[in-house]
Amino acid sequence: MDFFLRLLRQVLDYLAIVYGNFFHPTKRGLIPPITNPILLLTATQISQRVKEGKLKAKQVVEAYFKRIEEINPLTNSVIEIRKEAFEDAIAIDERVDKELNQGIIGEDGRSIKDFPLLGVPFTCKDSVSIEGMHLVSGLPERKNIIALEDAPVIVNLRNSGAIPMALCNVPELLMWWDAHNPVFGRTNNPYDLSRIPGGSGGGDAATLASAASVVSVGSDIGGSVRIPAFHCGIFAHKTSAGVISSKGKYPPMLPEKESLFAFGPITRYASDLIPMLKAMAGDGIAKLSKIDEPVDISKLRVFYMEGDNNPMTTPLSPDMRDSLKSVVNHLEEQYKIKCTKISFDKFNYTLSMFKASLAESGSVPLTIEMTNRKYALNPFWELIKWVFGFSAHSLAVIMVAIVEKTTPPLETPIVQGNLAVRELLKKEFKEKIGDDGILLYPTFPEPATKHGTTLLKFSNVNYTSIFNVLGVPSTACPMGLNSEGLPLGLQVVANPYNDHYTIAVAHEIEKTFGGWVPPCTVAC
């Protein structure tokens, strides 16, 4: 059976290559050059210059709005601009002028120094509530829905001085690792417009990689910040569970599901991961009590894996393997660490454990979510309608609904058995990695695939969803570009609440291997 499954995997991968190359020819080098140096500043640099009066927040917002106008016809990554961002920026500039020139502190008693992200504009995926903006989540039945209030994560960011700037595209109901839906269409990868940007936060990742944003709000239940960050060559962090409030997201997140789910920052630069994480979390950052502690990388125990042995996942590509080995070699040479290659055999059952964990959460069925909770549709009939061009839904969400519909009930022995395997794996992972260890692991088995081929590679999401199953923090790090100009990368993983380890190693990787590489020329 293993032989036949691997053969099937090879056939599907071959079909993906043929289909992708025939229907989606390569489109590289089309993103306009970066001409404004403001677009190359980190979020912390922007904030510091705004506080010092060396840069106006309005200038920053204008620069990013102009950049969105330049790249969005190509990437289709931004679905809505928040025009009120100009008013927010002007108010910040007035406040800075009063404090610097007149010594007048704001009416709330806070100095401009008390705002860690003062004047930093940010983007957000179209699934998080921002007052006055759409909250569609790519669902046709919600195309006219406007959010009435800010989600707690947005409130926290505003309290840090950051400015909501734009909403970015997602797959329908966030249910796929692409960013394509019937309402706003398809988002393109800026490194090659014929390829996917990853998902569900693909709109944010494509916008960041194109230098049309510097930081974004992401959420992750199976890889939704790490997969797009990998595909677009930037950083993202899946936070330990429960650090950032999950309220204000659509579809709503049940408390039972929070062990799988985490909000997290998507950033162009590693230096912005912790400031963005702290701003998003607000008081919840207290759960990461060591987040500001310096990390001595030489004292970490380092483990690595080259993927699982599941016959239905695409084999790890040579350039992805080389990226992983490059980090291993660097840590061994620079810090005299003995990196240990290990294996978790239970990783092969990721999909079964993930589906069992979703069943355990008691979520509203996808067949009901697809109608905006009005009634339950029949996903099999919806598939027939799609074949003949009469369905209002995307093929991906229909297929996920069918998988959900055919998953055995929670109380059945097979589901309970998968939950038992999950608990054994959690214990094994915790004991092997320990409180002083990290795991280096591929984010994905291959660089960005062509549009329209992801359903042929459905199991590849196992590379990220395994860490949602385990409920552990993971940071996606870029590792430059391959010979085709496509981003490479890996994940750094640790045990719960050791987020500071994974982010510290992300800093080291950026310093050593260069981090984000623009998909265009830099002419400034």
Q: Which residues contact 314 (CB under 8 A, 6 or more apart)?
A: 9, 13, 445, 446, 457, 459, 460
pLDDT of residue 255: 66
Cα–Cα distances (Å) from 70 to 12, 43, 63, 66, 314, in that order, read: 36, 21, 11, 6, 35
**Amino acid (one-letter) located at 394:** S
Q: Which residues of the chain have pLDDT under 70?
A: 255-258
* 224 marked ligand binding residue: yes
Look at residue 478 in the predicted model and tell me its pLDDT: 98
* pLDDT attached to residue 253: 77
In what side-by-side order are the strands of the sheet with 487-493? 78-81, 163-168, 121-125, 215-220, 262-267, 235-238, 474-481, 487-493, 437-442, 301-304, 340-341
pTM for the whole thing? 0.97
Long-range contacts of 422-426 (CB under 8 A, 24+ apart): 422/353, 422/356, 422/357, 422/469, 424/346, 425/344, 425/346, 425/347, 425/353, 425/469, 425/470, 426/470, 426/471
Residue 256: its pLDDT value, please?
55
Cβ contacts of 439 within 8 Å, gap of 6 or more: 303, 304, 305, 342, 433, 492, 493, 494
Condensed to tens digits (0 to 9), the pLDDT of residues 223-248 reads: 999 999 999 999 999 999 889 999 99
Annotated ligand binding at 459? The verdict is no
Which one-letter amino acid corresponds to residue 221?
I
- Residues 144 and 164: their CA atoms lie apart, in Å, by 20
Q: Which residues have a catalytic role annotated? A: 125, 200, 224
Task: Confirm or deny that 200 is annotated as ligand binding.
Answer: yes
Hey, what are 286's tokens?
């207290």
DSSP, res 284: G
Which domains are delineated in the chain? Answer: 27-362+410-513 (3.90.1300.10)
Rg (CA), the chain: 22
